[in-house]
A and B are shown apart, each in its own frame.
Chain A
């Protein structure tokens, strides 16, 4: 049954709510399952996950490009999942720009306004204002094909801004751009978001992008929410090994639980040694239970022997990253460790690594192989 449809006209938009949104394709496991999300005015929420996690499905469901198998979507008191895409009034930015190739840049930006029957003069004015925001005013009369990829995506952003939507949906808008441009446009999006007080729902597989932009992060795994939180929360305290792996905890390895320590600390066996870490998962862990240990490369410290959790390893590959070195080291038990350091390390040299127990995270359950593989373009 539909709830009380009390869309008070004129009142500013307050929240967009997704309730139990489920999407099943054929006989496959659900692409999105029981997805609940509340998006308030001024939020910048990033849906994060590898390809196939359901993040793009969620966006398509909100935009009206996919039917819901179950659940509902509400804008304040008004149910909108029963409306067609053209009646929902969102602005959207697509991964491959999706500009109308036959229309000039200005006419592209005007398109949404024309559909809303905005008078011609006002239409032009608003389109040019939107183009000014993305600094493309002087290209207004060009065709999209005459612009570079980055410029085309700016046009797409201007097109979404021009209709002054309550929510802007962004579907991996930066993933088709090269690295330098990606960072530039990322900053641009953040600036526009702050200046215009937008509400944004942003889909990406790039954790760095999500951390840089979002006020709230939603990590998805196989169609379900794995963790919701601020970027800081998710980054420093990933709720599962899966999230940890996604947040750049490159050192993930199986271990077995030995005994509890002070507070949440515990000792586990890993690569032939005993390591002290912090248990994240709730509930009691049995002796000898299989756990997953997660350590960020930045948290492995190159030491001289003494220190917590000292591990000896041989530096195998040393990459120079400018400010720091990225080192791949191998322990005597044949485990591979990744670390970052500003100290000089020679390939082939024996190193001792230490890690603070609060930065060694211990999770109850593990990961499936290849689950974190990110495939750009697919989602």
Chain B
């Protein structure tokens, strides 16, 4: 039998232990490839884009690309045009999707089918939507044929603001719907039951329990829809009027890069776009922090 020695007094643990205490150990190596990819292909290109945007290809001062953009009313007007498109698209998408998502928050027969239909535009992407829209919305399309048949006036919903608007809603609404379904579904059912036992009717339960709990999620979803709609691109060209009504921010980026091969100018406008997008996201986080405290959805989640 060997007697174990008396307990030794080590004033400090080895560095490895102290780091492990704070969550730093070899398992973090598993993160390295992912960090390298995100840093190299996402963060670095942003910085690279900023750096080339201040080295204008066409000469002028460092900020020539930015002054070119902001002093040209046609180009700078793209910001307003984008806002005029993105805000209504986000509002309409959330407005239409929210009641539907609320009704679909629980499992029901046909949920898979609804999900499938909703996932179609997300999967196919905006190109396919834009491709199919002429046959439906053009002057000789199905909608106008239908209107003619029932005696309604003809509508012009293609190659203008409305063409892009419809295409944007068709792609944004499903995403909003899915997000909201998760948010409504994440509200603990027992809260509703508790409210019901306390005498709250269906309307009262919605307005006093569900809505306040879902409000942060609704706001986030609205902001995400805004962010998505703000960078609408192929449908602005294919079913919009890219030189006028749907001259959104992505069009000058596309023109600078693909048509003029001026990546410095394109990067400058992309930086402007990114700054606006980050402002929207920042605003969402700020407003949420101000308005809502405590767990966003209550119960599970």
A72 within 8 Å of B by Cβ? yes
**A200 CB to closest chain B CB, in angstroms?**
21
Determine the chain A residues whose CB is within 8 A of the CB of B294 once the complex forms.
Answer: none
B21, A72: Cβ atoms under 8 Å?
A: no
Stretch at the interface among A13-21, A57-65, A321-329, A365-373: A13-21
Q: Is there an interface contact between A4 and B7, defined as CB atoms closer than 8 Å? A: no
- CB neighbours of B9 from chain A (8 A): 20, 70
| Measured CA separation A69–B7 after assembly (Å) | 12
- List which A1-59 residues lie within 8 A (CB) of chain B: 1, 3-4, 6, 14, 17, 19-20, 25-26, 34, 36
- Does B153 make an interface contact (CB < 8 A)? no
Contacts A67-B20, A67-B21 given; indicate if A72 touches B1 (C-beta within 8 A): no
A70-B9, A70-B10 known; A3 and B17 CB under 8 Å? no
A1-B4 CB under 8 A given contacts A26-B21, A69-B13 = no
Is A303 interfacial (CB-CB < 8 Å)? Answer: no
> Which parts of A66-120 form the interface with B (CB within 8 Å)?
67, 69-72, 74, 76-77, 79
- Contact in complex: A72, B7 (CB < 8 Å): yes
How far is B1's CA from A69's CA once the two chains are assembled, in angstroms? Answer: 27
B269 CB to closest chain A CB (Å) equals 48
B2 contacts the other chain (Cβ, under 8 Å)?
Answer: yes
Residues of A within 8 A of B7 (CB): 19-20, 34, 36, 70-72
Q: Which residue of A lies closest to B17 (CB)?
A: A67
Decide if B291 is an interface residue (CB 8 Å cutoff): no
Q: Could you say which interface size class chain A belongs to?
A: 20 to 34
Residues of B within 8 A of A71 (CB): 7
Q: Chain A nearest CB: distance from B15 CB in Å?
A: 12
Interface residues on B, range: 10 to 19
- Chain B residues 249 to 283 lying within 8 A of chain A, measured CB to CB, are none
B29 at the interface (CB under 8 A from A): no
User: Which of A3, A25, A67 lies in contact with B4, CB distance below 8 A?
Assistant: A3
The secondary-structure label for the interface of chain B is loop
CB distance from B11 to the nearest CB of A (A): 9
Per the bound structure, the CA–CA distance linking A160 and B1 in Å amounts to 27
Return B151 CB to nearest CB of chain A, in Å: 62
Most buried by A among B6, B8, B17: B8
Decide if B5 is an interface residue (CB 8 Å cutoff).
Answer: yes
Q: Is the CB of B21 within 8 A of A14?
A: no
A68 to chain B, nearest CB (A): 8
Chain A residues closer than 8 Å to B8, beta-carbon distance: 1, 20, 72
Q: Does A3 lie within 8 Å of B21, measured CB to CB?
A: no
Most B CB within 10 A of own CB, among A1, A14, A34, A67: A67
B1 x A14 contact (CB < 8 A): yes
Interface centre among B5, B6, B17 (most CB of A within 10 A): B5
- How does the 8 Å CB contact mask read for B20-38 relative to A, with 1 for contact and 0 for none? 1100000000000000000
Which residues of A lie under 8 Å from residue B4 when comparing CB positions?
3, 17, 19, 72, 74, 77, 79
- Within the complex, the shortest CB–CB distance from B284 to chain A, in Å, comes to 33
Residue of A nearest to B20 (CB): A67
Bound-state CA distance A16–B7 (Å) is 14
Q: Please determine whether A76 and B5 come into contact, CB atoms closer than 8 angstroms.
A: no
A17 CA / B4 CA spacing, docked (Å): 8
- A76-B3 Cα distance, complex, nearest whole Å: 8
**CA A3 – CA B8 in complex, angstroms?**
10
Q: List 7 A-B contacts (CB under 8 A).
A: A6-B2, A19-B4, A19-B6, A20-B8, A71-B7, A74-B4, A79-B4
Pairs of residues from A and B, 7 with the lowest C-beta to C-beta distance, nearest first: A20-B7, A77-B2, A19-B7, A74-B4, A3-B5, A17-B4, A67-B17
Point out residues on B near A: beta carbons under 8 Å.
1-2, 4-10, 13, 17, 20-21
Other 6 A-B pairs with CB < 8 A, given A4-B2, A67-B13: A20-B9, A34-B7, A67-B17, A69-B17, A70-B13, A76-B1
